[in-house]
Structure 1
Amino acid sequence: MGHNRPDYGRDAVRAYIRDNALMWLEDYRVDGLRCDSISHIRNVDGSSDPTRDLPEGWSLMKWINEEIRERMPWKITIGEDLQGNEYITRSPEEGGQGFSSQWDAAFVNIVRDAIVTPNDDDRDLHRVAETLTGIYNGDAFQRVIYTESHDEVANGKSRVTEEIMPGDAHGWFPKKRATLGAALVFTAPGIPMMFQGQEMLADGYFSDDLPLEWQHAEQHAGLVHLYRDLIALRRNLAGHTRGLLGQHTEVHHINNDDKTLAFIRRDQSGPGDTTIVLANFANRTHEAYTIGLPRGGNWRVRFNSDWEGYDEEFGNFESMDTQAEEGIYDDQPFHGSFGLAPYSVLIISQEPD
């Protein structure tokens, strides 16, 4: 027996998809849309093979983004393509799909590997440095960066902490290296993204039929505080880390032997703007680690991920403010030394003028 099915033409289907997108933005007033797996809309296999491209899929996403930009240009649209295709976020006038931003698979794969790898000597900081500066179309905010998403923590995969030490996700090593990854997410160029429960050290794997264990938020209140501090610094709420909102990133220090790196973030430059991030990817303490600084004066430690207030097992290793000394170091005209704990991150800046 046959079934009477409506005959949806191509144009009707395209209009239906567009109208649903606009409904969420206009009627339900969401701030934006994230489009899932758009690589499978624009390509038969979801790959970068141009011989398998679907031109109508590409034009569909372009059309929807053009409609959104015309009617609600302040809304954000994010594409999950994961192929590193800069045309996903290029404007339609330049042949792109017109998404505001896209998930960056390179960042999550490289940074997650660097913090999950058991042996310090096996971490490749040159790869980390490369992905820290990898942006699309010259715009730092055309990529979404993260260490956990529903894809990375399910389907046979686990949370970062669980990957670091299976069965002991709340131990010292998982906490230290997971917070190292979090600090990079909030200081590297891009739109930082957290996954539910990450800030309270959710362990195991993610399943949508398992609720969050909210007692972890109380057990790890200090780590929740750490994420809150990183968010405040990333948003420049105190007025002395404007560089984290800027377009400029320079990895000026890479020490692949000691597994440390430092990078400079700038918006307009100057005190209160230029921000230095120093990261230690090894289980090694440095009493006075020297890096180059772009100008003289006093440099203040705004964030030290080893603070015992974040976790009672952290070492609370002293990282003091430093007066810059004249002399070229890391191709910078000044330099200074900071105490640096194992698997820790410092965020450093000057007082605004």
Structure 2
Amino acid sequence: MNSVKTYTLFTEHDVYLFKEGKHYKLYDMFGAHSVEKEGIQGVYFSVWAPNAKKVSVIGDFNNWNDKDHILFPRWDESGIWEGFIPALPLGTLYKYAVETPHGEILEKSDPYALSWEQNRQAASLVATTWYEWNDKEWLNNRWKVNSLNAPISVYEMHLGSWVRDVDDPKRFLNYRDIAKKLVPYIKEMGFTHVEFMPVMEFPYDPSWGYQITGFYAATSRFGSPQDLMFLINELHNNGIGVILDWVPSHFPGDANGLHRFDGSYLYEHEDPRKGFHPDWKSYIFNYGRNEVKSFLISNAMFWLDRYHVDGLRVDAVTSMLHLDYSRNEGEWEPNIYGGNVNLEAKTFLQEFNTAVYKEFGDNIITIAEESSDFPMLTKPVHDGGVGFGMKWMMGWMHDTLDYFKEDYEGRKFHHHKLTFASMYMYNENYMMPLSHDEVVHGKASLIYKMVGDEWQKFANLRSLYVYMFTHPGAKLLFMGDEFGQTSEWNFKQSLDWHLLKYPVHKGLQTLVKDLNHLYRYEPAFYENQFDKTGFEWVEADDLENSVFTYIRKGKRKDDCFMVVLNLTPRVLDYKIGVNAGTHWEVVFNSDDEKYNGSGVKAEVIKEQSERWMNRPNSIILKLPPLAGVVLKMEKDKKYKLHRIKLHKR
């Protein structure tokens, strides 16, 4: 006897929008929802399985049999199965038993489930995202923090390996325990945002979360949905934004997941040239199918809506946009114009960006991980762009790391690796990433990418960070890089926090803290970070000395800083051209003893009216070895210099 009652949360308009690919809040209908029917409390289930012969709800409440709780197919040929089961509490374990056209029974977890089990079976749990938030003040004002004209300094982290239980290093901390440690740390370090590597449910730890099975479920490794909400709420109430990694590019072939969900290629593209990813051995969403677009855009909306997150960093955009990504000739099919652009994926990304920005405006950010020169990624959709708020500046990252690996004599031959970014840095809104991908798979930690002995390695990395934080664009730094983690990142264990007892590591951490404060509290470094008026080379071609000199400018004409990088181990008395009537004083020196530098004082030792570097006057600046130096301009020699109060804000 079927114990399921008829019930629906869908209106005809909901179904119409779903089939058109225009329903962006499907989480209000699909999945398992605690409701009341005729005075009886229970759970409404709904699932999309258009090719199924039968769909049953199986679980711990019916001994996992597929005979007692059979869902009803909707009359409108939408492919939606639904029904109400009385007296099921929160926490009930369940799956869908989907009978395929060939009579095969597939046991599938709910694509819209809010929580999943942590075991090989990975059943779904009847759960809720109800939470008593108290971050209203943050939500009302976060547009200021997420603005392109605001400082954006992101701390990227993996929740499972930032820190582990001290008494049991194999045990994950709960989201709430992480909050107690993370919130004060981020606040002290001065980062404006944290970016969590995927928190959506995933079955395989070595995937780091990028092989997602439960797109609507906060992974239960670290607690409940409400525990994650607590963490986000605490970050917000301490002025810290939250960005999530979002993966609409692919999904694994786990038996209980989206792959062949109703026995057909439902979520994935049937043609393996478009539907199977050769690198990750995973399946690619069919972006041309309207119901799949509704699923994915609703998923993005879900995390922004229910979890109050402030941004989504979209993973693997390059693989989505290019039909020939990681494929040899003959392994891909050109689009209708004979090109390699996946037009369906491009349209999907445009619709995604349009939808979330329409709903949330400038309160949120979307960021593309994109490594090609695909045009207009961060331009508005109505102008022909893809509509992202920012994209990762992968070229800058590769060129910069390549340069700092070079020995000092060889750097003159690679000088323009550090200047090349200025040729294109205003083509898009860029975020400069030093991410997790740069410290795994034998690539070495950042500190061991640097050339020289231990002191020189740290001096080089300090200089690199000065270059990064004073360069136009938003910033992203992976956890551990702020204090010079010596080993590659290992997802199985905590960061090596004990290194902070050594002065070289503590000094590097202090430097990153001070650079965050310099970037955040001096408008010249962020107001025009995506505008040509904010940057000017003073000297870009001094190959022989490996010295780079540039100016950063704010919206006020007198808000001006000069950055000088000496990327050799020599102390230099260095002549720099300056404008008439301007005076300069050093406000930051990466060689300072508090950063475990050598303590050579960077200072202007002479001002003169001699023309230099196409400027009417000049100064002689003492440059410490392997150092980044920042000077502030004052126009009147009788000025009282504004001292930057680093890490005291």
Q: Does the alignment reach a TM-score above 0.5? A: yes
Question: Could you tell me which amino acid in structure 2 is paired with residue 201 of structure 1?
Answer: G
Residue 361 of structure 2: SS of its match in structure 1? Answer: coil
Task: Give runs of aligned pairs for residues 216-231 of structure 1, distance below 5 A.
Answer: 216-219=499-502, 220-231=505-516
1:193 pairs with one of 457, 468, 476: 476
Structure 1 residue 339 displacement after superposition: 0.8
Cα separation, 2, equivalents of 1:68 and 1:24: 11
Cα separation, 2, equivalents of 1:165 and 1:285: 18
Residue 33 of structure 1: SS of its match in structure 2? Answer: strand
Q: Are 2:356 and 1:71 aligned?
A: no
Query: Which residue of structure 2 lines up, in the alignment, with residue 102 of structure 1?
Result: 391
Question: Could you tell me which amino acid in structure 1 is paired with residue 514 of structure 2?
Answer: D
Cα separation, 2, equivalents of 1:277 and 1:322: 17
Question: Could you tell me which amino acid in structure 2 is paired with residue 58 of structure 1?
Answer: K
Structure 1 residue 133 displacement after superposition: 5.1
Structure 1 residue 268 displacement after superposition: 2.5
Residue 609 of structure 2: SS of its match in structure 1? Answer: strand
Cα separation, 2, equivalents of 1:227 and 1:44: 40
Range that drifts further, 219-228 or 40-49: 40-49
Q: Are 2:526 and 1:233 aligned?
A: no
Cα separation, 2, equivalents of 1:145 and 1:128: 13
Residue 145 of structure 1: SS of its match in structure 2? Answer: strand
1:338 pairs with one of 618, 621, 629: 621
Structure 1 residue 294 displacement after superposition: 3.2
Question: Could you tell me which amino acid in structure 1 is paired with residue 420 of structure 2?
Answer: E
Q: Are 2:529 and 1:265 aligned?
A: no
Task: Give runs of aligned pairs for residues 139-150 of structure 1, distance below 5 A.
Answer: 142-146=429-433, 148-150=434-436
Residue 419 of structure 2: SS of its match in structure 1? Answer: helix
Structure 2's unaligned 5+ residue stretches are 1-102, 107-260, 268-288, 328-333, 640-649
RMSD: 2.4
Query: Which residue of structure 2 lines up, in the alignment, with residue 255 of structure 1?
Result: 542
Query: Which residue of structure 2 lines up, in the alignment, with residue 176 of structure 1?
Result: 459
Residue 69 of structure 1: SS of its match in structure 2? Answer: helix
**1:169-199 per-position Cα deviation (integer Å, ceiling 9, x unaligned):** xx11210111111111100011011110111
**1:210-237 per-position Cα deviation (integer Å, ceiling 9, x unaligned):** 21011223432222111111111111x2
Cα separation, 1, equivalents of 2:579 and 2:316: 42
1:2 pairs with one of 104, 108, 129: 104
**TM score, norm. by length of structure 2:** 0.49
Larger Rg: 2
Cα separation, 2, equivalents of 1:203 and 1:129: 28
1:320 pairs with one of 595, 603, 614: 603
Residue 226 of structure 1: SS of its match in structure 2? Answer: helix
Range that drifts further, 208-217 or 336-345: 208-217
| Distance 1:31-1:57 versus aligned 2 partners, 3 A rule | same
Structure 1's unaligned 5+ residue stretches are none
Structure 1 residue 351 displacement after superposition: 4.6
Task: Give runs of aligned pairs for residues 51-66 of structure 1, distance below 5 A.
Answer: 51-66=339-354
Q: Give the number of equivalent residue pairs.
A: 339
Cα separation, 2, equivalents of 1:182 and 1:57: 35
Question: Could you tell me which amino acid in structure 1 is paired with residue 509 of structure 2?
Answer: V
Contact 1:133 1:250 survives alignment (8 Å): no
Residue 198 of structure 1: SS of its match in structure 2? Answer: coil
Query: Which residue of structure 2 lines up, in the alignment, with residue 31 of structure 1?
Result: 310
Q: Are 2:418 and 1:128 aligned?
A: yes
Structure 1 residue 325 displacement after superposition: 3.0
| Distance 1:243-1:104 versus aligned 2 partners, 3 A rule | closer
Structure 1 residue 337 displacement after superposition: 1.3
| Distance 1:66-1:232 versus aligned 2 partners, 3 A rule | same
- The structure whose residues are more often helix, as a share, is 1
1:111 pairs with one of 400, 403, 413: 400
Q: Are 2:303 and 1:17 aligned?
A: no
Cα separation, 2, equivalents of 1:65 and 1:3: 38
Contact 2:440 2:489 survives alignment (8 Å): yes
| Distance 1:110-1:289 versus aligned 2 partners, 3 A rule | same
| Distance 1:284-1:322 versus aligned 2 partners, 3 A rule | closer
Question: Could you tell me which amino acid in structure 2 is paired with residue 292 of structure 1?
Answer: G
